[in-house]
A and B are shown apart, each in its own frame.
Chain A
């Protein structure tokens, strides 16, 4: 091993040891920082798991509607003949029917299909009992079972004309858990409605509608299974990028403030290590190591606790998401991403105090002197430049065609600008302090004396405010947007009756 490599390994080893010890010995501060990193990691893990399994533009959303089918077509000769020969299919009738309840008749949705057909996998969850068979059996959704207070073995009266049906099962419809409805076997629909086919195409085959399409020429409507479009994916990616960047910056600033406090307290130790022969880089490494250590711990604990929560709190998550958990999969790349971001955020939070620790004059630190550097002024200038640059980027990118990366970049640049300006501003408030009564003067003086710490805290609060304000603006804008979106998929023709 060369001398430099040895120094590298040795200093990391020493750095990690000091970091580990000080983490354990300053429990309060460590727990604070740990929680700052742990909670977002935990929440993110739960969200990522929920996103992957329950909602959004993911494949799950499609299987809630279409099960394993590639295609839903109106049942009919024209449709059946257009399908490739090896296709499998299951009939599905969706319609409305009348159910007799304690408060009289009610119109409810019903579906007639073969629940146990593999193509239907994903569309339903059988919660109790079994699938209905023949014309005298019915399965009710959870919600309806509760409304009518029935359980398997009881009778319900439904259909047009009304008939008595034995409840044999309780199911949930994947597309919404809150919906009250009935499910009967495919051969005994409860009322008239156009039958459809859920079609599973042979592997590797595609299907295209016969030409010319359209209902007037004996055509039929169809829904093709299609993943999210590129545009949708882009929007999703942009949203994730923005949320991650802003939340990340937020956590970096908050945890950074805590680290600054810690590094100040550690200053004498760090100066001592420098006097003993630690290079600036080695000293920085020690502060950085505690960030990495806490970041890694928080990442592992956050991901672990998130997964555990997801496992244990399944019913609750189902209720919140309004979808059932079927075929739960763990999106390992995303979870790894969450862990990586958490560790990075921990390291980033320690970076600023690490830099100041490595640069400070050792003699001053040993003597307990405070350095009156011109750093503040430099930071102010840099901050102004960052603010202008960030604003410029935002103005350029702040339109519907703007790139989300640029928006995120602009926002973070602005945030950094504000942070950089803070020490100078805090110092300025120190000058005003003389005019204030005692308590205010003391507070401002204290703040001004510990500029870095104050600046980090101010920046964190600023970021939090900026974040919530922009979220609020987005929310308001969204709720004012006209609801012109129709629940149709590309290729689907919707006729208003």
Chain B
């Protein structure tokens, strides 16, 4: 997966013109703000594979004697078809967080609420930190990078929402009846009334 993503990502960098190897890495890092932590060796290996597949081809050397590559017609075609194909992430059901909470819910003696809370606090910590990054960004920043940060923020948001859901589901199962008839306690009925009135305005 990861390797595939790097391969297509690097090929996409060629779309706006010929590049030599190190230039490829620095432009990719700029678009992702270094968050992929590619090393030079990995970049050259991938470049070799792209050349072998016929997606890029060497077009000579620059003044410094570095070998420069350009995208081929075949490469452009492949890139276009990558953009046109949806990602079917087969790793999704195998997320560690999903497994941890699924097991916590069935394993005896685990306080699911506590597990959820620890994770939620951590997710919110990351949320805050990514939001900081996003806030410090401005118009001049690389748009690819801004979208990547937004992706992280939105992913975290859905993670936190899912955690809320996990908590609610587990608690409802643990205390049957409570979730279904919360109106029995007068105080809760009171609050319910309030909310109805407010939203009714």
Contact = CB atoms under 8 A, between A and B. Distances in A.
In the complex, are there CB atoms of A and B closer than 8 Å?
Answer: yes
A363 to B, nearest CB: 10
B193 to A, nearest CB: 8
A368 B200 CA distance: 10
Interface in A361-379: 367-369
Interface string B165-201: 0000000000000000000000000000110011001
A41 B175 CA distance: 68
Contacts of A367: 194, 197-198
A467 B96 CA distance: 83
Interface in A354-394: 367-369
Nearest to A369: B194
A332 to B, nearest CB: 51
A367 B198 CA distance: 7
Range, interface on chain A: under 10
Contacts of B193: 369
A449 to B, nearest CB: 11
A412 B182 CA distance: 50
Nearest to A370: B197
A367 B197 CA distance: 8
Main secondary structure of the interface of A (DSSP, over half): loop
Interface string A311-347: 0000000000000000000000000000000000000
B192 to A, nearest CB: 12
Nearest to B197: A368
B129 to A, nearest CB: 34
Contacts of A369: 193-194, 197
A367 B201 CA distance: 11
A367 to B, nearest CB: 5
Contacts of B194: 367-369
B144 to A, nearest CB: 45
Interface string A263-293: 0000000000000000000000000000000
B109 to A, nearest CB: 41
A210 to B, nearest CB: 89
Nearest to A364: B194
A396 B70 CA distance: 114
B183 to A, nearest CB: 17
B191 to A, nearest CB: 9
A368 B194 CA distance: 7
Nearest to A372: B190
A204 B200 CA distance: 80
A36 B45 CA distance: 92
A369 B193 CA distance: 8
Contacts of A368: 194, 197-198, 201
B49 to A, nearest CB: 63
Nearest to B190: A369
A369 B201 CA distance: 12
Interface in B149-176: none
A248 B166 CA distance: 66
B194 to A, nearest CB: 5
Nearest to B201: A368
A340 B143 CA distance: 72
Contacts of B198: 367-368
A368 B191 CA distance: 11
Interface in B58-113: none
Nearest to A268: B201
Interface in A161-209: none
A369 B197 CA distance: 8
A59 to B, nearest CB: 62
Interface string B16-37: 0000000000000000000000
Nearest to B199: A368
A227 B194 CA distance: 68
Contacts of B197: 367-369
Nearest to B200: A368
A367 B194 CA distance: 7
A368 B193 CA distance: 10
Nearest to B198: A368
Contacts of B201: 368
A448 to B, nearest CB: 16
Interface of B: 193-194, 197-198, 201
Interface of A: 367-369
Those 8 A-B pairs whose CB atoms lie nearest each other, nearest first: A368-B197, A368-B198, A367-B194, A369-B194, A367-B198, A368-B194, A368-B201, A369-B197
Given A367-B197, A368-B194, A368-B198, 7 more contacts: A367-B194, A367-B198, A368-B197, A368-B201, A369-B193, A369-B194, A369-B197
10 contacts: A367-B194, A367-B197, A367-B198, A368-B194, A368-B197, A368-B198, A368-B201, A369-B193, A369-B194, A369-B197
